[in-house]
Chain A
C-alpha cells in the first residue's frame, strides 16, 4: 500500500548569530546551512496495517508524514501510496487519504462544527445518503453529538481532536495519517480515540500510519513499528522484536519487612560489577524495584543474591515495558548502536 524508498529531505536554514549585533549582521549578510531532516528513510506498509512511527522530538517524523501526504517534496527518493506519487496530481491523490495533525486543525475555527462537515462533504463529493450514514457512524465511534453545533473555537482539546479525526474520515479514505493524535489529551479521551482508530482499522481495513510519543498508543494499536532518530531509520519490526532487540531491561520487584537491610546489604553494582545504567534501584516504602540489564546480569543470579541477602515477603520479575525500552533508546541515541 505504501512504499517509501530512500527519501531524504533537506532544509536550508538561516543561521542567526546571537545578540543584537548578530541580528544586525544576519539582516545584511544572512548565513544559511543545510539541515538534513530526513536521511534515506525506507519502509513499506501493507494494506490494513497500523504502523507506529516513533522517534524522539525532532527526529523527522512529521517531515516524513508531510512528504507522504504531499505537502513537502522530498529532496531525493520516492514514495508511492496506493500506486500514486503524492506530489504528482495532488488533488487526485488527497481524495484517498485522511490526515490529522494533532497540533493543527482542519476545522473552521469560527463556524459550528457541523458546517465544517458540510463543506468537506462538497469538497470530497460525498453523496447525501452516504454522508448521512457516515456521520452516524462517526458519531457513534467518536461521540460528536454533544458539540456538533458549537463553534469550533469553543471546543475542548479532546473534543476538537475527535472532531478532527472525524473530519479526516468523512470521505472513507484508504490511508489515514495520524500525526500525534493523542497529544495533550487525558487518559479517558486517549482511550476513546484509540478504540475509534482500532474500530475503523478493523471494520474498513483502513491503513493507518500513526506517530506518537505515547507508547500505550503503540502497544494497543500497532503491530509494527518504524523508529527513526536524527532523520535515519533505526528500527523496523514488530513489538516483540523491539523488545528482544532492545529490551534487555527487566524489573525485579519485591516487598521486604526490613527496608534498612535492603539499603545496607544489597550492593548490586559492586556485586555484579555493573554500571549505574545497568542496574537501577528504587523503593517506595517496603516495595523495592530493581531495574536491571538481563544481558549483563542473569535473572537467576540477581534473584539468588537478593533472596540470600534480605528477608522478602513477596517477589516477582517483570518483562521490560516499551516505555522503558524507548526511554533508554532515546537517551542513548540509537544511531550509535547501529
Chain B
C-alpha cells in the first residue's frame, strides 16, 4: 500500500502544481459557475414569489437556495475531466506515453486529478458551506449544522467523485471508436445534469420517474450527497443510498477495466 501511494502521490503533487500554473483559468471558471448559481437563485425566487404557498413541492425558498449552492459545490467537487483527458490522449495518440510506463493507466489520471481536487476543496468547500450555513442562520434565525450529516455528506461526495471519475473514464474510452469526443461529451453533460438532479431536484419529478432515477447511477453523482447535506434523509436512508453509491462505483470500475482490456487490443495510435 505504501509503495502504491509512493508511486502515485507524485501525480497528485504534479496535479496541484498544474492547477497552480493555470490558476487564472481556475478562478474564471469558478466565477462563471457562481454567476450561474445566482441566476438560478433569482429564477427560483421569482417562482416562489409568484406562488401562493410558502413551499413548493416540499421545498421552501431556504431549502431551494441551500439546494442550489450545495448542488453547485457537489458538482464542483465531483466534476471529473476523465472523459476529456482520456479522450484527448486517445485522439492525439499521447496515450502511448502512459503505456510505456510501469503504472496503471487509470490510477495516473485519478491521482493527477486528486491534486486538482485538493485545491478545489480548499478554495471552494469551506466558503460555500460557511456561506450557506450563515444564510440559513440569518433567514431562519436558528443554527442547524449537524456534524454527523456533514460527515456523511463528505463521505458521499468522495464516492460520488470516484463514480464520476470512472463513469467519465468509461465514456472517454469511446474515443477508441469515435476518435473525437467533443460533441458526445457535451451531450453527456446535459443528460447527466438532468438525470442526476443537478438541474431540477428529483423531488419535483413524477413519482415513477423519481424512483427510476434514484436507483440509476446518476443520482449517486450529485443528488444523494446534496440531500444528505440538507438533512432530507434519515440516517438509515442515507446509509442505504451510500451503499447504492458504492455499488455503482464498483460497477463503473469493473466496466472501465473491461473496456480498457478490450480496447487495448484494437488500439490504433494515431499520428507519429
Which residues of A are at the interface with B, using a C-beta cutoff of 8 A?
Answer: 11-12, 62, 66, 69-73, 90-92, 94-95, 97, 99, 101, 103-106, 108, 110-111, 115, 118-119, 122-125, 151, 179
Q: Smallest distance from the beta carbon of B221 to chain A beta carbons, Å?
A: 29
Q: Smallest distance from the beta carbon of B132 to chain A beta carbons, Å?
A: 34
Q: Report whether A72 and B269 are in contact in the complex, using a CB–CB cutoff of 8 Å.
A: yes
Q: Smallest distance from the beta carbon of B22 to chain A beta carbons, Å?
A: 8
Q: Report whether B101 and A105 are in contact in the complex, using a CB–CB cutoff of 8 Å.
A: no
Contact of A123 among B99, B101, B267, B268 (CB under 8 A): B101
Known contacts being A62-B272, A111-B18, A115-B17, is A105 close to B97, with CB within 8 Å? yes
Instruction: Tell me which residues across on chain B come within 8 A of A101, comparing CB atoms.
Output: 96-97, 272
Q: Which residue of chain B is the closest to A107 with respect to CB atoms?
A: B97
Instruction: Tell me which residues across on chain B come within 8 A of A95, comparing CB atoms.
Output: 102
Q: Smallest distance from the beta carbon of A276 to chain B beta carbons, Å?
A: 36
Instruction: Tell me which residues across on chain B come within 8 A of A69, comparing CB atoms.
Output: 99-100
A105 and B89 alpha carbons, distance in the complex (Å):
12
Q: Smallest distance from the beta carbon of B270 to chain A beta carbons, Å?
A: 10
Q: Report whether B269 and A94 are in contact in the complex, using a CB–CB cutoff of 8 Å.
A: no
Contact of B100 among A106, A122, A125 (CB under 8 A): A106
Q: Report whether A119 and B100 are in contact in the complex, using a CB–CB cutoff of 8 Å.
A: no
Instruction: Tell me which residues across on chain B come within 8 A of A62, comparing CB atoms.
Output: 272
Q: Report whether B272 and A92 are in contact in the complex, using a CB–CB cutoff of 8 Å.
A: no
Known: A66-B96, A103-B271, A111-B14. 4 other contacts (CB 8 A): A73-B264, A110-B22, A123-B103, A124-B102
A106 and B102 alpha carbons, distance in the complex (Å):
13
Known contacts being A95-B102, A103-B272, A124-B102, is A119 close to B11, with CB within 8 Å? yes
The 9 residue pairs across chains A and B that have the minimum distance between CB atoms = A103-B272, A119-B10, A99-B100, A91-B102, A95-B102, A106-B97, A110-B21, A71-B96, A122-B10
Instruction: Tell me which residues across on chain B come within 8 A of A118, comparing CB atoms.
Output: 10
Contact mask B5-29 → A, CB, 8 Å, 1/0? 0110111011001100110000000
Q: Report whether A11 and B268 are in contact in the complex, using a CB–CB cutoff of 8 Å.
A: yes
Q: Report whether B7 and A123 are in contact in the complex, using a CB–CB cutoff of 8 Å.
A: yes
Q: Which residue of chain B is the closest to A63 with respect to CB atoms?
A: B269
Q: Report whether A122 and B104 are in contact in the complex, using a CB–CB cutoff of 8 Å.
A: no
Q: Report whether B17 and A111 are in contact in the complex, using a CB–CB cutoff of 8 Å.
A: yes
Q: Smallest distance from the beta carbon of A189 to chain B beta carbons, Å?
A: 20
Known contacts being A71-B269, A110-B18, A119-B14, is A94 close to B7, with CB within 8 Å? no
Contact mask B95-139 → A, CB, 8 Å, 1/0? 011011111100000000000000000000000000000000000
Enumerate 24 A-B pairs (CB-CB under 8 Å) in ascending A order: A71-B267, A71-B269, A72-B267, A72-B269, A73-B267, A90-B102, A94-B101, A99-B100, A101-B97, A103-B272, A104-B94, A104-B96, A104-B97, A104-B272, A105-B97, A106-B97, A108-B14, A110-B21, A118-B10, A119-B11, A119-B14, A122-B9, A123-B7, A123-B10
A270 and B265 alpha carbons, distance in the complex (Å):
58
Q: Report whether B99 and A90 are in contact in the complex, using a CB–CB cutoff of 8 Å.
A: yes
- Check B93 for interface membership: any CB of A closer than 8 A: yes
Q: Smallest distance from the beta carbon of A325 to chain B beta carbons, Å?
A: 26
Q: Report whether B100 and A104 are in contact in the complex, using a CB–CB cutoff of 8 Å.
A: no
Q: Smallest distance from the beta carbon of B204 to chain A beta carbons, Å?
A: 38
Instruction: Tell me which residues across on chain A come within 8 A of B267, comparing CB atoms.
Output: 71-73
A217 and B41 alpha carbons, distance in the complex (Å):
66
Instruction: Tell me which residues across on chain A come within 8 A of B102, comparing CB atoms.
Output: 90-92, 94-95, 123-124
Interface of A is mostly: mixed
A104 and B271 alpha carbons, distance in the complex (Å):
10
Q: Smallest distance from the beta carbon of A305 to chain B beta carbons, Å?
A: 49
Contact of B7 among A106, A111, A122 (CB under 8 A): A122
Q: Which residue of chain A is the closest to B268 with respect to CB atoms?
A: A11
Q: Which residue of chain B is the closest to A103 with respect to CB atoms?
A: B272
Q: Which residue of chain A is the closest to B179 with respect to CB atoms?
A: A14
A123 and B13 alpha carbons, distance in the complex (Å):
13
Q: Scan residues 180-221 of chain B and give those whose CB is less than 8 A from a CB of chain A.
A: none
Q: Which residue of chain A is the closest to B9 with respect to CB atoms?
A: A122
Q: Smallest distance from the beta carbon of A38 to chain B beta carbons, Å?
A: 13
A179 and B97 alpha carbons, distance in the complex (Å):
13
A327 and B10 alpha carbons, distance in the complex (Å):
47
A62 and B104 alpha carbons, distance in the complex (Å):
24
Q: Report whether B99 and A110 are in contact in the complex, using a CB–CB cutoff of 8 Å.
A: no
A179 and B269 alpha carbons, distance in the complex (Å):
14
Q: Report whether A66 and B18 are in contact in the complex, using a CB–CB cutoff of 8 Å.
A: no
Instruction: Tell me which residues across on chain A come within 8 A of B99, comparing CB atoms.
Output: 69-71, 90, 94
Q: Smallest distance from the beta carbon of B104 to chain A beta carbons, Å?
A: 7
Instruction: Tell me which residues across on chain A come within 8 A of B22, comparing CB atoms.
Output: 110
A106 and B97 alpha carbons, distance in the complex (Å):
6
Q: Smallest distance from the beta carbon of B179 to chain A beta carbons, Å?
A: 9
User: Which of B94, B102, B269 is the most central at the interface, judged by chain A CB atoms within 10 Å of its CB?
Assistant: B102
User: Which of A73, A91, A94, A122 is the most central at the interface, judged by chain B CB atoms within 10 Å of its CB?
Assistant: A122
User: Which of B22, B271, B272 is the most central at the interface, judged by chain A CB atoms within 10 Å of its CB?
Assistant: B272
Q: Smallest distance from the beta carbon of B231 to chain A beta carbons, Å?
A: 41
Instruction: Tell me which residues across on chain B come within 8 A of A104, comparing CB atoms.
Output: 93-94, 96-97, 272
A95 and B7 alpha carbons, distance in the complex (Å):
13
Instruction: Tell me which residues across on chain A come within 8 A of B7, comparing CB atoms.
Output: 122-123, 125
Q: Report whether B6 and A122 are in contact in the complex, using a CB–CB cutoff of 8 Å.
A: yes
Q: Which residue of chain B is the closest to A112 with respect to CB atoms?
A: B17
A122 and B103 alpha carbons, distance in the complex (Å):
10
Instruction: Tell me which residues across on chain A come within 8 A of B93, comparing CB atoms.
Output: 104
A299 and B104 alpha carbons, distance in the complex (Å):
62
